[in-house]
Amino acid sequence: MNSTAASNLPIASDNYGSIVLAWFGVVFSLLCTVVIGRKTIIDYNRLRLVCFFMGIIVWSLNLANALRIYSAIDEDLYGQMRNVNLVLYLDLMVVITFDVGGKFYPFGDRINTMWWIATLSTLAVNLVYVVIITLVQIPSTYPIGNSINSVVRIIWPISVFFAYLYAFYPIIKMKTGVGESPSAVVALGVWYLTGTGLCLLLHIITMLVIIPFPLPKYKALNVAGTGIATSFRALLLVFYSTPPSNDIILRIRRMFFPSSFRGSKVNDVNSSARSEMQQNPGIQLPDVQSTADSINNAEVTAV
């Protein structure tokens, strides 16, 4: 391995910013994991269970990152742990997103162009990381492997976003009610796509900030940036496993689809909401009845 003594030196004790951000990542990812675990116990489903285990994976990386402050973990060992952690996170995110998204497609249409794009891009990242892990084991090829690793750490979220596009594309296209009005399920798709895109974008921006500054000179910046980036991963898991409130869905409909409240009778909206939630068992609003009632009340107010 091409480890250097300088890379394994502890961070100065007065570098409060890096220390705080690193331990913030540990605490924040732990809290996110606890929130997901609690939600899994209260309202179990397979997606939340997987997100809970992924939360543990993210938390373990945050803890290892914080230990770098005191040089309690070798930098080369941490690098390998980070790579394996990232691949596991990526693969599990894509798998559970496919599992959810497949429920919105007719059985024969589940394998489509977007599915192949997401699958092939994910496989490509996995294969590249096999190459990276091999290259960094050899001193002469370590710089090449490290350079490739820096690029992949920036672009891997694109694979997750492709998977999300696959999952929610049918929802965005879905129409319901009189006059082709967008449904509550469409608003739900907008919520998840927007939140996912924001989390992934912030993760990419963080990586773009820290990766140009190499170790060991900028170890403190790397530790701080990793604490922030992994916090966005944990936040994405919470976002993905916790459905939005009915009020949020109604606000999205009012903001982007105001026509969905026009020309529809209260009973039509109520019936439509019930039908949508029952026919789409993937990602659902917290409670079918309360959702229908909320839309019902909003329609009465609008009238």
pLDDT in tens, 196-255: 888 888 988 998 888 888 877 889 999 999 999 999 999 999 988 888 888 888 888 777
Question: In this predicted structure, what is the pLDDT of residue 65?
Answer: 95
Whether pLDDT at 274 is above 80 = no
* Residue 23 structural domain: 6-302
Question: In this predicted structure, what is the pLDDT of residue 260?
Answer: 60
Residue that wins the pLDDT comparison between 167 and 271: 167
Residue 294 lies in a domain: yes
Residue 168 lies in a domain: yes
| Interatomic CA distance for residues 278 and 288, integer angstroms | 8
Amino acid in position 207: M
- Alpha carbons within 13 A on the beta-carbon side of 189: 25
The residues with which 176 forms a beta bridge, in sequence order, are 181
141-149: list long-range contacts, CB under 8 Å, 24+ apart: 142/1, 142/2, 143/2, 149/79, 149/83
| Interatomic CA distance for residues 273 and 292, integer angstroms | 6
**pTM for the model:** 0.77
Residue 20 lies in a domain: yes
Whether pLDDT at 265 is above 70 = no
| Interatomic CA distance for residues 122 and 162, integer angstroms | 9
Please check whether residue 46 is in contact with residue 247, taking contact to mean a CB–CB distance below 8 angstroms: no
Banded model confidence at residue 277, pLDDT cuts 50, 70, 90 = very low
Burial (CB < 10 A; 0-12, 13-18, 19+), residue 207, is buried
Residue 1 lies in a domain: no
Residue with tokens 């060992």: 77
Number of domains in the chain: 1
Q: Where are the beta strands (DSSP E) in 161-225?
A: none
| Interatomic CA distance for residues 185 and 174, integer angstroms | 8
Residue 67 lies in a domain: yes
Banded model confidence at residue 292, pLDDT cuts 50, 70, 90 = very low
| Interatomic CA distance for residues 227 and 207, integer angstroms | 11
Instruction: Find the range with the poorest average confidence among 18-22, 47-51, 191-195, 202-206.
Output: 191-195
The domain that contains 197 carries what CATH number? 1.20.1070
Banded model confidence at residue 176, pLDDT cuts 50, 70, 90 = very low
The residues near 282 (Cβ < 8 Å, ≥ 6 apart) are 100, 101, 102, 103, 104, 167
Q: Which residues of 112-134 are buried (b: 16+ CB within 10 A; e: fewer)?
A: eebbebbbebbeebeebbeebbe
Residue 203 lies in a domain: yes
Residue 221 lies in a domain: yes
Q: How many CB atoms lie within 10 A of CB 247?
A: 10
Give 118-173 pLDDT, tens digit per residue. Answer: 999 999 999 999 999 899 888 899 889 888 988 888 888 888 888 988 887 776 66
